[in-house]
Structures are given as structure tokens and as C-alpha cells.
């Protein structure tokens, strides 16, 4: 029987968008752009997911350039990968505020081993996007930042969620990182496709770090309470 890790690694090897993107938008597929990312992410999934236990799904928006876009692991930058997961990484160290917050939550939950035994994190769109910013430099772009992009990747998003549910995902509750546009979109597609019985939305880690850092402990406690509630619902 294939383990949860086997299924995630197979998904990462084949995940690909074959449609057309709006002008000025580029797709970021770290698994195809950097060969070492497959091995780095595989080390992570083998360490924490080499079993057949079901897990609850947590969905962010889409990978960023300094977290999942570099490691292949959502909300895990290279610094957290090395320090919190004890997985070696050779290359430029990256820092992502969202990753900092998520790993503070994971630490409060009991550590990476306990957390990942119960939860699997990805994004509504498992591949990221970039666009040229005001100064010409490349910046992160979200799947919902334009109607044209949302429409272009809609079928890809639905297909990706369906495939990930088959990893062994509990469908009673799904968590959503982002209680604005991300939540609205997920609730819409869930209403249409009946993926999950309930969606619990939480403030996005980036929002907490950027705008609510002084109240960070409040949000860590809120996350922990929400995650614990899912473990008690059967």
C-alpha cells in the first residue's frame, strides 16, 4: 500500500498547468524549475508522512517565491526547513514571514512530528504566480488577483484538490489560510463540488505577521484551538 508520502511525492512530480495564462503573468512550478527541490521536498515528506494515517487539509493561497517556491513545501522556507525540520538544504537561505508564523503555531501544537502526523498543508492553487511589480522586479501574484487568472486556472484548482483528497484527507473539516478572498473562493468551489462538510477559515499567516504582530500570541492560540477542534470531531 502506498504511504501518504508516496502519494504527495507522486503528485509533486506530475503537477503541471497546461493552459494559457493572462499576459504578464508567469507560473512558478518549483518542481520543474529546480531539480533538487523534488529531493528536498521528498526528504520532508518521507520524514513526516511515511504512513497511511488520514490527515486534515490546510489550504493556503498559492506558493510564494521564498517559501514553497524554494523548498517545494508549503509555508516552509529554507531556514525553517533546516532549523525546525532538521532537513539539510544547500543554497541561498530564504526567509518568509508566513513560514515564521506557521512554525510558531507548529511549535505550540507540539512540534513538527506531532503536527504533520495530523495535518497536511498545501494551497488552493498548488503552483504559484509572479508578475512584474511597479519597479519592474518580479513579485508574487495570487490566483484571485484577476478574474482572468482565476478563470484560467479554475479547472486546474478543482482537479488538484480532488487529487489531494485521495491522499487520505479527512473531509469533515478543511482549514483555509486567509479569511478574505481565499475563503470566499474556497467556499464557492466547495459548495459546487461538496469536497468538505465544513470549512474553518483563519487569518492568513502573512496578514498576522504584517499587521497583527503585536497580537501574534492571540492568533497562535486561535489556530491551536481550531486545529484541536478538528481532532475531536468524528
How do residues 197-233 score in pLDDT, each as one tens digit? Answer: 999 999 999 999 999 999 999 999 999 999 999 987 5
pLDDT, mean over the chain: 94
How far, in Å, CA of 231 to CA of 68, rounded? 26
Q: What share of the chain is helix, strand, coil (3-state, %, to 5)?
A: 50, 15, 35
Q: 63 or 9: whose pLDDT is higher?
A: 9
The CATH number assigned to the domain holding 114 equals: 3.40.470.10
Q: What is the SS3 assignment for 137-182?
A: CEEEECCCCCHHHHHHHHHHHHHHHHHHHCCCEEEEEEEEECCCHH
Domain coverage including residue 40: 4-231
Nearest to 44 by CA among 2, 1, 14, 89: 89
**pLDDT higher than 80, residue 34:** yes
Give residue 105's pLDDT.
98
- What is the rounded CA–CA span in Å between residue 103 and residue 123? 17
Q: Residue 230 and residue 186: Cα distance in Å, rounded?
A: 18
Structural domains of the chain, count: 1
pLDDT of residue 17: 94
- At residue 66, the pLDDT reads 67
**CA 148, CA 21: separation in Å to the nearest integer?**
8
Give CA–CA dist 95/166, Å, rounded: 32
CA distance 153 to 118: 29
Which has more confidence, 69 or 47? 47
Q: Which tens digits make up the pLDDT trace of 57-99? A: 999 999 887 677 889 999 999 999 999 999 999 888 889 999 9
Of the listed ranges 60-74, 117-131, 138-152, the least confidently predicted one is 60-74
Among the listed ranges 1-5, 35-39, 102-106, which one has the minimum average pLDDT value?
A: 35-39
Task: Give me the mean pLDDT over the 155-176 stretch.
Answer: 98
Residue 217 in 3-state DSSP?
A: helix
Amino acid at each position: 500500500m502506498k504511504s501518504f508520502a508516496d502519494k504527495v511525492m507522486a503528485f509533486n512530480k506530475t503537477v503541471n498547468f497546461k493552459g494559457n495564462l493572462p499576459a504578464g503573468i508567469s507560473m512558478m512550478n518549483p518542481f520543474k524549475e529546480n531539480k533538487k527541490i523534488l529531493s528536498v521536498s521528498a526528504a520532508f515528506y518521507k520524514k513526516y508522512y511515511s504512513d497511511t494515517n488520514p490527515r486534515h487539509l490546510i489550504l493556503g493561497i498559492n506558493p510564494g517565491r521564498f517559501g514553497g517556491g524554494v523548498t517545494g513545501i508549503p509555508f516552509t522556507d529554507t531556514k525553517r526547513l533546516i532549523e525546525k525540520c532538521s532537513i539539510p538544504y544547500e543554497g541561498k537561505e530564504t526567509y518568509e514571514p508566513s513560514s515564521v508564523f506557521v512554525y510558531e503555531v507548529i511549535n505550540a501544537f507540539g512540534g513538527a512530528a506531532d503536527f504533520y502526523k495530523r495535518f497536511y498543508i498545501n494551497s488552493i492553487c498548488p503552483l504559484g504566480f509572479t508578475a512584474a511589480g511597479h519597479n519592474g522586479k518580479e513579485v508574487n501574484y495570487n490566483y484571485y488577483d484577476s478574474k482572468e487568472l482565476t478563470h484560467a486556472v479554475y479547472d486546474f484548482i478543482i482537479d488538484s484538490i480532488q487529487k489531494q483528497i485521495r491522499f487520505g484527507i479527512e473531509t469533515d473539516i478543511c482549514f483555509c489560510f486567509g479569511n478574505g478572498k481565499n475563503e470566499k473562493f474556497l467556499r464557492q468551489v466547495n459548495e459546487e463540488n461538496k469536497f468538505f462538510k465544513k470549512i474553518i477559515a483563519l487569518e492568513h499567516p502573512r496578514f498576522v505577521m504584517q499587521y497583527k504582530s503585536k497580537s501574534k500570541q492571540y492568533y497562535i492560540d486561535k489556530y491551536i484551538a481550531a486545529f484541536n477542534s478538528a481532532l475531536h470531531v468524528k
